[in-house]
Structure 1
Amino acid sequence: MTELEEHVANFMARFNASDLEGALADFSDEGRYIDEFGNVHAGKIEIRAAMTPIFDGSFGDLAYTVEETIVDPASEKALVTWTLRITGADNSVSMMRGLDILVFDGARVLLKDCYIKAKEVLVEPIS
């Protein structure tokens, strides 16, 4: 396993461990998180606010399964495809598939850009 693959695996494992503090520590001070709606959260304060519901159970019990990781050590980029299993408070179970584009600066995450498969496509006007 390359050093970049280790950084990616450790970062993704934080989500199953409900380790918000660890995930935040993995981000660089200039880090950005682009959520599935295209909202940009810059810096650890904004990233914490955006990610807290992922880690605190607001969305239910979440379990990520990493399906595939593709890394380019030269550019310090990774593509991670995953499946998310969600168990609600009523014990209902649902699933979604998505991917993250991760950009690193050494061991720190500069960018986490999240995409999720959905029934509706996000179309943004350009004028």
Structure 2
Amino acid sequence: MPPSAKAVLHLDDDRFKVTEWQFEPGAETGWHRHGHDYVIVPLTDGTLGLDLPRNQTMTAHLSRHIPYSRREGVEHNVTNAGKDYLAFLEVEVVDDHIAHRRRATMERLMQAFNARDLEGVMACMAEDCAFHSAAGPEVVGTRHEGRAAVRAAYAAIFDSFPQAAWTEGTHAVSGETGMSSWRFIGTDKAGRDVDLCGCDVFAFDGDRIALKDSYRKARG
């Protein structure tokens, strides 16, 4: 049996996990799947041997202090394929799962709006939620505070636009803030067509939306 690589944990908090992997010649990590995006920072020059799914293999040459990154989902067994000691730091972004879940909430919200599913829309909102609409008398537009007020405001949007579609949606999360951009194409109750771009800025309570703050282009 080949020797096992040694893992030394240097940092493990709510955002990052930093592990130093130390390999004697021939040492290996064993098969594993990466659950997070990560960065590798080589501490030595060296050559990695990589066992991959479907019986594939490859080698990767490391240069000291020259980092590289990989996405969540990589599956492999890593071996020191060189003749000398090898080490690197593995920096995992452990809060990416939170960002993935929040992005999924934003995607579900847009899908629910397009399906005119008011219950589905409200399922994306936190218990203590708010909606700041794009137009209104205040500097933030019109404030709708609390689930009942937010629900009524969303219902009014569906009522005002018998035909409505939020298209070309893109979603991004950075820390506690999310943003969706979209193109709204609809017809109001008077038969007027509307076609404009806008965005929503979100604040979160866990995985659900505590504040939906809307902005849109004004066409004139």
Q: Please, what TM-score do these two structures have when normalized by structure 2?
A: 0.48
Structure showing the higher strand proportion among its residues: 2
Q: Is 2:164 the partner of 1:62?
A: yes
AA partner of residue 134 (structure 2): E
Using the TM superposition, give the Cα deviation of residue 53 of structure 1 relative to its aligned residue in structure 2, in angstroms.
Answer: 2.0
1:11·1:23 contact (CA, 8 Å) conserved in 2? yes
Equivalent residue number for residue 50 of structure 1: 153
Q: Secondary structure of 1:118's partner?
A: coil
AA partner of residue 47 (structure 1): V
2:163·2:186 contact (CA, 8 Å) conserved in 1? yes
Higher RCO (CA < 8 A, seq sep 6+): 1
**Residues in 1 aligned to 2:134 and 2:125: alpha-carbon distance in whole angstroms:** 18
Using the TM superposition, give the Cα deviation of residue 94 of structure 1 relative to its aligned residue in structure 2, in angstroms.
Answer: 2.9
1:82·1:99 contact (CA, 8 Å) conserved in 2? yes
Stretches of structure 2 lacking an aligned partner (at least 5 in a row)? 1-98, 136-140
The percentage of counterpart residues that share the same residue type is 32
**Residues in 2 aligned to 1:110 and 1:64: alpha-carbon distance in whole angstroms:** 21
Using the TM superposition, give the Cα deviation of residue 32 of structure 1 relative to its aligned residue in structure 2, in angstroms.
Answer: 0.5
CA RMSD between the two structures: 2.1
**Aligned counterpart for 2:185 among listed residues 82, 85, 89:** 85
**Residues in 1 aligned to 2:189 and 2:205: alpha-carbon distance in whole angstroms:** 38
Alignment of 1:108-127 (within 5 A): 108-119=208-219
Stretches of structure 1 lacking an aligned partner (at least 5 in a row)? 121-127
**Aligned counterpart for 2:107 among listed residues 9, 31, 37:** 9
Structure showing the higher helix proportion among its residues: 1
* Larger Rg, first or second structure (1 or 2): 2
